[in-house]
Structure 1
C-alpha cells in the first residue's frame, strides 16, 4: 500500500514478540475464522502508537507485518484476559477504521490475548462483509482465544499426494477442537475430492450419520440432491471463489431432502491447486418451510386485500407511527407517498362531525375500558370526497397490561350506505307518489324530492296528446326557464353542440349524460359574473320515462356544483325513479279516466232514471186513480190493477237504488239530518215490516231499551237501512222462525242489531256482503244486490259503523250504529250543508 498509515514490517513476526509467546499458529487462526464464519483471523500487538499484525490465518486481507496506526485505542483501558476489546471497529469514524476499510475489511471482532507482562495483544476475526456480531459469536471468540493462548505447539500441515491431514495436537489444541465439536451448527473439513477429514456432531446429526467418527472418510458428493451441484462448488473453489452464506438443497443419507445455509471456503497450495475444503452449515429446512408457509400466508393476505378492498393499519403507541397495507392508497385514492405514517394525519382526515366521537372511543379502548374497538365514521379521500368507513381494531398489550400498539382493519362501506340511502330515497319517493292521484301534484312532489339528493336542478316533461313534449314540473331554480322546451334549454346550455340526444332518449329509450359549458351558453367560457344555478350547469342527465315499452315523458337532472359528478350508480337510481314516476303518472291518468267514466255513468243514470220516472209516475198515478174511482167494480179488475201497481213500485225502488248507489260511489250523496227519537226510528222499522213477517209466518220481535236518547240522523235514509236489514232477515228465514230487532245506546253511540234464525252466510262470502250486486241467493229476482251496499254508504255517511256476524246453520246478525252527538255541536252546522263522513253535500 502507498498510504503512509500502513507500513510493511520487513523483519519477521518473531522480532515483535512472536517468540515471546504472543504468536498463534496460522492453522489455529484459520480455524477461529472458520468457526465464526469470517474471512480470517489475525493477531495484533499494540503499543501507544500503532498495532502490528503478528500472525494471520484463513483468507485475511491483512498480511503479517502490517502496521496500523491506532494510538493505543484498541486495547487501552480494557482487561485483556478474556475481555472483549472491540466489536465493530468499522462503525467508528476513526483513522483506524479508515485504514481497515482501505484494505477491504468491513467488520472486525477482537478479544484480549494473554501474553507476557506489559504486552498488549489481541486476536481479531475479520470479514470482508459488513455484519453485526452476535452475543454467541462474541462468547465463542473469547473461548477459543483463551484456549489458543495456552497453546505451545501448533498444528502443521504436511502434503502427501495432494492430501491434507492434521498432526497430533497437545491438550490445549484438543480443548480448542472441543469448541469446534460443541458448536450447534454443522462444520466439516474435507479434502479436495470431498472426502471428509473431520466434522462435528452437529454435521453428523444433520445428514444422518451415527456419529462424527462414522462420517470420516465419506464423500460429500453423496449428500448432493441435484446431480452436478458439488462439482459446481469445486470449480468455484478452484478459481479461488468462496461461497458466502448461500442456500443449498442437499439430502440426508436416508434420502430426506434438507436445505442448508452454507459458507464454503477452500485452501490452495503454492501451485494454486485446491487441497482443502471447509464448510459451515446451518439447517434451515424448518425455517424455509415456515418461510414458504409465511409467503403463502402473505400471498393469501394479499389476495384477501385485493378481493375485499380492506385497509389494514398498525399504530405503534410508542412513537405514534402508523403503518398501512397496500390497500390504503387504493381504497382512499391517495398515492403511496401521500399516505403519511402518522396518527395525526389519520385523525385530521376524519370528518369534523365524527372526529371527537372517534377519538373518545379509541382512548377508552386504549385505557382498558373496552377490549376491541369499533367505530363508523367518514374519512376524507384523496379526491376531497368522504368515504363511509367501518373501522375495527384490537389493542395489543404488554405483560403489565399496558397498551403497546393498535391493529385495525378499515372496511369501506360507502356503497352499502349509499345503497341504504338510495333505498330510503326511493321509498320516500314512492310514498310521495302514492299520496296523490293528481298528475301535476305527483310530478312536482318528485321534483322536490330529487333536489338536492340526486341533482342540483330537476325538470320533468310529459308527452301530451299529439306527441308533444310539454313541461310538467321543475325545481325552483328552473322557474325562469319553465315555459321553454327542454330542447331550447339544451340549446342554450350547449349552443355549439350539434348532437341531438332526443332520438336516443325518447326513441331508443336510453339514458344520456351531456357535458355542457357551465357558463350560461357562452362558448368562450365566461359567464359575466352570473351566479345563477342555470348558468353554472356543467352536466345534464336525461332519462326517458317508459311505461310498458312506451315513452311517456322525459326526466332531466342537472348539476351546477363543480364538486359533483354523475356516477354509474346515479344512472341506476335515476332510471328506477323515472320508472316509478311513470307508474304514478299512469295511475293518475287512469284515475282521471275512471273518475270521468263514473261521472259520465252517473250522468247517464240520472238522465235514464229521469226519463223512466216520468212515464213510471204516470202509470202509478193512472193505476191509483182507476182503483180509487171504481171501488164498486168487480174484484177481477182490482186483481189486474194491484200487480201493475206492485211492479211499478218495484221499478221505482230499483231506480232509486241505482241513483243512490251512484251518488254514494261518486261522493255526492247528501243527508237531510235532524234530531229524532231513536226509539221511534226502531219502532217504525218494525211496524213497516210486521205485515211481511206475518205473511211469512215469522215471529218479529222488537226489543228496545227504555229511555233511548235522541239522535242526529236523516230519519228516512236510516229508516231505509233498518227496513232493508229487516226485510233481508225475513226473506231468508223459514216459516216458523223468528227475527229480532234489538236497540240500545251508551254514551258514544246507539246500536241496532237485527238477527234471524236463517241458514247463515258461508265464511267465504263474508267479505263480499257489502259489495255491490252481491246476493245471498244468486238469481233472486226480488232485487239486484244494492241494498246492503247502500246501507253501508248511508251508515258511514252518518259517521257510524255497520258489520255482520254469521255462522252457517245458526243465523245471521247485522249491527248498525249512530254516533251520539250533542245539540250544541250540531247547531253550528247547517242541515243542508253538513259533511257526512267524507261524502260532500250539495248546497
Structure 2
C-alpha cells in the first residue's frame, strides 16, 4: 500500500463500532478489523485512559494513526480527527526527524526493536519534549502485524532533574577534587615551610606569634609550643622592639603586599640564650577570614657577616704588612688590627736560631685586659713545658681550643702569677697558628676571645692560619731585607778599608808623578823615551785603581740577593683576585675603582711560584692605586702573545717623565720629591721576581695621562731551572 493510499484510506465494506472512548470507533468488518479476537481488546482499550495518564497512540501496521487519547491531543496540540490515518512520523515528531523515526517504526513492527525508546516530540506549547515510549505490536490470526499500541511518559522534567543532578554531582566532584588538591598543596607548602632553613614566623594584628617553623626553632632556640601566643618582642633585642612595632604598623598601612625589612639599616635577632645575631628579613601581610596576619621570613646571616669581617681583617693585615719591612712594625700592626676587629687578645712569639723563642707582642682589646697582656709578655717561661702556643712548637700545626676552661688554663700555667694572668684574660676559646714561610716556622701567634663572646670555630682557625701565613711571609721578607742591610753595612766597612788602603798609595803615586813631571822639565832632552814609558805606566795604573775604587763604591747603591722559586702549574685568576682583594680597602679609601679584565677562561695554567707572583701583582697594583688620584680607575688585564702571557696594570695617575722611566726599577728610587710611603724597593723586587721566572717587565707612561706597567711570564718551561737565583737589579 502506498503512502497516498494509506492516507486516503476509508472504511469500505465494514461498520464502525464504538469501543467506549468518547466517539472513537474501530472497524468491525471489512479491510481493517480491530475487534478480531472478541471483546477483550475493546475492553482493554476502554480502560487505557484511566490507567495511563500519558499520551497513547494506536497505529496500524503501516504507521497510520488510528487512535490518540486526550493526553496525546493535549501534548501534541492536535485532535484525533486532525491526525487520523496520517503517518505517525509526519505528525508528532520534530521536523527533520521523519526518516529516522520511520526506520525506528519499521524496526518495532518487524520485532527488531523491543526495548522502550526515548524520543523527542513536538508539543503544542512550542519546542520539544522527551517522551519515553513503551509499545506493543498486535498480530492478526495469520501472525502478521496488525497494529502498534504506544504509551508514553513525559520524562522531560525528569531528564532536566537528572541533568541538574549530574551537573551538581560534577560540581561536587570538582569541588572535592579541588579541596583535595588544595589540601595536598597546603600539606606540601606546610612541609616546605617546616623544612626551610630560614625562620618563617607569623604574627596576628596584636603581634602574638601564631606560627613558628622548624627553621625558626633552630635559629632562635625556642620550640613552637613555647612561643605560640607570645609577643614577637621575645625574639628581638630590647633596643629594637619599639621601632619594630612602628615599622610593622607603617607596613600595615602601606599599599604594598610585601617588602624587605630594614632596607636602610641592619636588623638583629635575639636567641633564647640572649645572644644577638645579624639577620635579613622580608615581611608579607595577608588578610584571612580570621583577620590579618603578618609573616616574616628571616635569615641568620651570622656566618656571612663573619666571613666578610674576616676578609676585611685579612685585607687590613695585608695592607699593614705591605707598608713596612720592619719586623716589629709588621708584628705590632698584626696584633693591633686583629684585636681591634676580630679577637680580644693577641700573643706573638718569635723563634730564631740565635735567641730561641722570645715573646715580642702581647696585646688586649680592652684596657682592663692590657695589664694581664703585659704580664704575660714579661713572665719568663720554660719553653719545654706546656704553655700557650706550645702545640705549634711540637707539631707545627694550627690548634683550636674551645672551650678553654679553668682546668685547661691550670695545665698551661707555670706559676701562680702566670695562672692569674691567664685567668684575667678570660679566654673562652683560643687558637694558635704558626708564623710560617717556606716550610719554616718563624714563630707563633695566639688569638683568644673572652667567654662572653662567640667562641672561635673552624672557620676562625682557617682565618687565623691565613693571617699567620701572610705575617710569616712578611716576616721572611723583613728578615731577608735586614740580612741584606747587614751585608751592605759589612760591605761598606770593607769598601771603606779598601778605599783607605788604596787611597794612600794612590796619593803617593800621584805625588811622585807630579815630582817626576817637574823633574823632567829640568833634565836634558837626550833620554826622553825611557822616562816617558815609566811615567805612562804609572798613570795608567793609577787611573785603573781609581776606576776600581769608584766601581766598588757604586756597589753601595746595589742590593745583592738570591731567590729560589717553587713553581707549580696553576691558574693565575685566583692570584689576581687575591691581590686585588688585598688592595681593595686602600682603593676604597681613595674611591679608586679597580677593574679586573683578567679573562680566566682564555688563560691556561702556568708554572709559577704563586706567592711571588701575587707579591708582584700586589706591588704593581698597590703602586698604581697609591699614585692614582681619587675617583679614578686602575685596570688589570692580560693577553696571550705567542709563547708568553702579558699582564698589564694601567692607572690614571700623573705619569712619569721620560727621563725617569729608566730609573723606576732602581733600588731606593722614589722619583722627584720622594712622595708617598715606602723606601723604593717594590718595583725593584717585582723586577727581580719576574726575571727569576724568565719574564720581562717594563713601564710606559705619558705625563698627565697615567702609567702602564707590563710584565710577561713564559707559558712553558721550568722557571726555577732557567733562573735558580737572581739579583733584584
TM class by shorter chain equals: 0.3 to 0.5
| Greater RCO, CA 8 A, separation 6+ | 2
TM-score (norm 1): 0.41
TM-score (norm 2): 0.46
